[in-house]
Structure formats: C-alpha cells, structure tokens
A and B are shown apart, each in its own frame.
Chain A
Amino acid sequence: MEILRVENLSKSFGGVHAVNDVSFSVEVGERLAVIGPNGAGKTTLFNLINGQLRPTAGRIYFCGQDITKMLTHQRAHAGQGRSFQLTSLFLDLTVFENALLALNGTKPSRYQVLRPITGYEDLMAKAEETLKAAALWEQKDELVKNISYGEQRRLEIALTTVLSDLRLLLLDEPSCGLTGAESADIIEMIRKLGRDITVLLVAHDMDLVFGVAERIMVLHYGEIIADGEPEEIQASPMVKEIYMGSEEDTGSARAS
C-alpha cells in the first residue's frame, strides 16, 4: 500500500531549482534514505512534504489524499512526524517541557486555557514513560541546551516518534555530529519502530543509511539521479562519481 506519492514536484528559489520535477512514491513501512551532496535539495524536499514550503509546481499525496495545500499542523494531525536538520528541540526549555509540548500537539486538550497542564495525568504519565524509555528521565528538569549532544539527538527521536497516530516519520540528519556509539543508539531507536510507521531519512552518515535503509534515493541538483536498493546504489558508477566520490574526499564514505 502506498503512503506517500510525489508527482512532478518542483521548488525554486529565484533561479535555484532546489527541487526539480521530482516524482516518487513510498510504500507503508518502507525505510527510505534520501542522500545527496550538500545543497542537493534534501531538506527542501522534506519541507515540501511536511508543508514548511509551498511547491512551485507538482502535487503531494499522503495516504491517498492530496495534501499539496495542507498546512503543516494539519499534516501532523494526519500522521506526519518530522525532525529538523539542526534541532527539533526547544533548547531553552527543560527536557520535560519538551516532552509535554511534543505529546500535546495533537491532543484535544492542547487548547485548554484555564486548567493547569499538570492536571492532565495521562499526559504526565506518558511524558514520564517516554523519557524513561529514552533513558532521559534523570535529566528531566535540565534545560535541553545543557544536556549532551548525544542525549539531545536521542530526545529528538523519542519525541518525534510520540506523535499520536504517527504514520510517516521524516528525519533530517538525525545523527549529524554524533560519535559512532551515539549514532548506533539512534540506529537502534529507528530499527525498533513498528512497520506501521514509514521512515524517510536524510543522512550523510553512511552507517546510518546502510544500517536502516532498504531503499536509497540519490538527489543531485534537485533531481533524482538514482533510486534503488542499497547494494544497487553502492554499485552504481554514476552515484559513485557524483556522490560517493565527493564523500570519499572528505573521508567519511563507507568502505565498500
């Protein structure tokens, strides 16, 4: 069953075609990695799927419904969860506060004006459960900017996956800047997700890409230049030349 379909999607900024006539579809439960050099248009593609940006042309279908004109918060209610490239966290708020905001965004109680938030026992219990599962309960009263980078990334994944009725997870560089061990934690967390959740991720970290993805899409100057299973992509000379080649220069490519 198809969960996401993108048809002839384009986005230009002035003269820059950040995403250029892109079409693809994603099946429920797939783990798809979008890779490509810096400036290839990966984040822009996510911004279009999640509604931060309006496409210049093309359509987006989510669960069979045309969502091209839908607002971001509506897409969250429809089941899209997303993390942002730099951080999806509120750095100046506490860990617990972050959990509350993440958990409450799709609950009816989110508009309650006069009842204290601490009075919502199910919300409090869920926040505790989520933080304990991510091994962050001890740090619940710390400001997020004061916990370690690895912990921040872990909290981020934990909180992007708590969206009620989550169906599509969009992760933009979830392990960026992490050490190998910390990155392994993230891979583990993503692997643990149920198959009812579809995962799209952008990553430069090849351990993450090959550790999670079953399908890889290569973006270059806003266009899809390859799309296939990890082995195919790894073997493709064109991809090697355009993408892996440049990665090898920086020494971070996976030895094949």
Chain B
Amino acid sequence: MSFAPYIIVGLILLIIPPFVHADIQLMLAKFLAFAVFAIGYNLVFGYLGLLSLGHGVYFGAGGYTVALLQYHLDIDSFWIAMPLAIVIAALLAAALGPIVLRSTGMYFLLLTFALGELFYSIAWHWPFMNVIGVGGEMGMRGITGIMYPDLNIPGLTLTSTSFYYFIFVGFVICYILLYRITNSPFGHALVGIRESEPRMQALGYNTWRYKYIAFIISAGFSGVGGAMFAWNNTIIDPSHFAVGTSFLPMVMSIIGGSKILFGPVIGALIVIFAEYFASITVRARWPLILGGIFVASVMFARAGIGVYLARLWEKVRVRYGNTKG
C-alpha cells in the first residue's frame, strides 16, 4: 500500500481544527482517542481473533489513572500520567490475562464481559474512585473536572486546539507502533493463531505466550486511548469500564474492517462523527442510529468499509496511471 492516503488524511486532520468550533475540535480529539482504543483492541479482536467485551477495563484504567492522579495527588504532568496509565492498564491485563485467555469464543466473551461489570461495580462503590459531594442519589459517579495534562514545556499551556494537536501526535505514534507490531514476525504469528492455534503449536509457536503478550499490548494501547479520552472529556465515570464502552471498539473494528490496521480508525471516525451529529439533532435516537450503522455495514460491507476504501483507492490509482501513488 502506498502512503498517499495516509498523507491526505493526515493533512486534513492537521489543517481543519483551527477553523472549526471548539465542539468539533472536541469531537475530533474524541475520535482520535477512540481510534487508538480501537486499533489497540483490534490487535486481540481482528489479529488474534478473540472477541473481547471487556476492554473497557483497560480504557477505564487509563482514564481513571490520569483522573485520580490529578484528583488525589495533584499530579497533572503528562510524563508521569501517561506512562502510569499504560503501566496500570498493562498490569491489569497481565493479571487478568491468565483468567480470560484460558478460554476462547463465547466463554472468552462472557469472561471479559463479567470482568468489565466487576470493575464497573468497584468504580461505582469505592469512594476513592468517586468525587466527593457528587452523591449516589443524584446518580452521578466518577470524576469530573479533569484538566489537560501539563507537558512541562515552559510557556506552553494546552488549549483546545493545541490539545487536539497533541492528541493527534499521540495517535500517529500509536498507529506507527501498531503498524510495526502487526508487520513483525510477532504480528504474523498472531494471525496464524487466529487461523489455527493447534497448527501454530505444531510449528513450534508457544501460542499461550503470544496471546498473553498481545493481550497486554492491546490493553496498553487501550489505556492510552482512555487517558486521551479522559483529558478530552473532562469526566470519567464507571460506565467507561463496562460493556457500553467495551463494545464500541468492537463495533468500530467491524464497521471499518478488523483484518486491516486502519479499519478500526475508519470505524471510529464513522461512529464518533455519527454520534456527534446525533447529539445535536436526535440525541435520544443515538443507540438506534448506531445499531442501524452497524447492521448496514455488516450487511453491505461485510469485510469492513476500510477494505472497500482501499479497493477504491486502488482503482483511482490505476485510472490515473500514477503507479507510485
């Protein structure tokens, strides 16, 4: 594949933000946070072939880590918050991996789902994870007033525009890392395990170790996405651990195409944009709209919209005879 589409999309994402309303900047940053979450998730879902409904745990862990650091310890340095968000998400995966990775298929789905609900419940009940004064009676839980991180660069305080660019850079780094991971011998082995674990074992691969490492890496990226999301959203609540959050990267991967790296990015774009436009028009209908998009994409673009976009790009390239792209 050529780099031209990357450059075009990258330029659009770079040029537009200063000219749009802060609400749209917020939406674009949310899209990038979810894009990171989704490509991280998809390492386990699309590449390894395990359907997790529990990655909200790692997304929430990332988000809560940066929020709790600010709230309890007054630490808002990016250089502390982000590594810690990654480490905590990865450590959780390292601890939970041996429990969930024993199973596959439906049992894997149910186990990951159950763990997500467990974390939801912990986050709901544990005072440490809730802002004092926003009581249960009002139905409000979690942490509000999360601020942008401090980059510790003298004279630089993030605004909504500069924060967006900051998130953009983070997304690009994550994308490049996952690009490298999926093209490495390790990434190729994951695809082999998706196709047939027993055959991979017979070839000499310690499939358990691959699954475990992939699960941890995937959780690490989910933690990054969660931290980005928390900074952007200013609020994190128990639902971010639960299935309502966990199923978003799955939907994004399926809509965009789970067998290709950029698929979940396309999916995130569609879902977050649609959510934004639903929120300013028919907010209550959002679940219905999301369901509709999902069903339509599964029916009409089985392999994922990203795959069709790639084919379309191929056609454009051939048509205009620019073989270098």
Contact = CB atoms under 8 A, between A and B. Distances in A.
Interface of A: 50-52, 71-73, 76-77, 81-82, 84, 88-93, 97, 100-102, 104-107, 109-118, 120, 163
B275 to A, nearest CB: 33
B186 A90 contact: no
Contacts of B2: none
A105 to B, nearest CB: 3
A156 to B, nearest CB: 11
A162 to B, nearest CB: 10
Given A90-B196, A93-B191, A116 B204 contact: no
A104 to B, nearest CB: 6
Given A116-B183, A117-B183, A72 B198 contact: yes
Contact of A163 (B180, B185, B204): B204
Main secondary structure of the interface of B (DSSP, over half): helix
Interface in B170-196: 177, 180-181, 183-189, 191-192, 195-196
A2 B196 CA distance: 32
A113 B178 CA distance: 10
A116 B189 contact: no
Nearest to B192: A101
Interface of B: 177, 180-181, 183-189, 191-192, 195-196, 198-207, 209, 213, 217
Given A73-B207, A93-B191, A101-B192, A110 B202 contact: no
Contact of B202 (A88, A112, A115): A88
Interchain residue pairs A-B with the least CB separation, the first 5: A105-B204, A105-B203, A76-B204, A72-B201, A106-B204
A77 B202 contact: no
Contacts of B202: 50, 52, 72-73, 76, 81-82, 84, 88
Contacts of A92: 195
B184 A105 contact: no
B184 A113 contact: yes
Given A72-B198, A114-B180, A120 B203 contact: no
Nearest to A80: B202
15 contacts: A72-B198, A73-B203, A76-B204, A84-B198, A88-B202, A91-B195, A92-B195, A97-B188, A101-B188, A101-B203, A113-B181, A113-B213, A114-B180, A115-B180, A117-B184
B3 to A, nearest CB: 15
A114 B184 contact: yes
A89 B201 CA distance: 13
Contact of A117 (B188, B201, B204, B209): B188
Nearest to B191: A93
Given A73-B205, A77-B204, A111 B185 contact: yes
A100 B192 CA distance: 10
A125 to B, nearest CB: 15
B199 A116 contact: no
A71 to B, nearest CB: 7
B221 to A, nearest CB: 13
Looking at B195, B204, B205, the one whose CB has the most chain A CB atoms below 10 A away is B204
A73 B185 contact: no
A67 to B, nearest CB: 14
B195 A110 contact: no
Contacts of B181: 113-114
Contacts of B200: 73, 101, 105
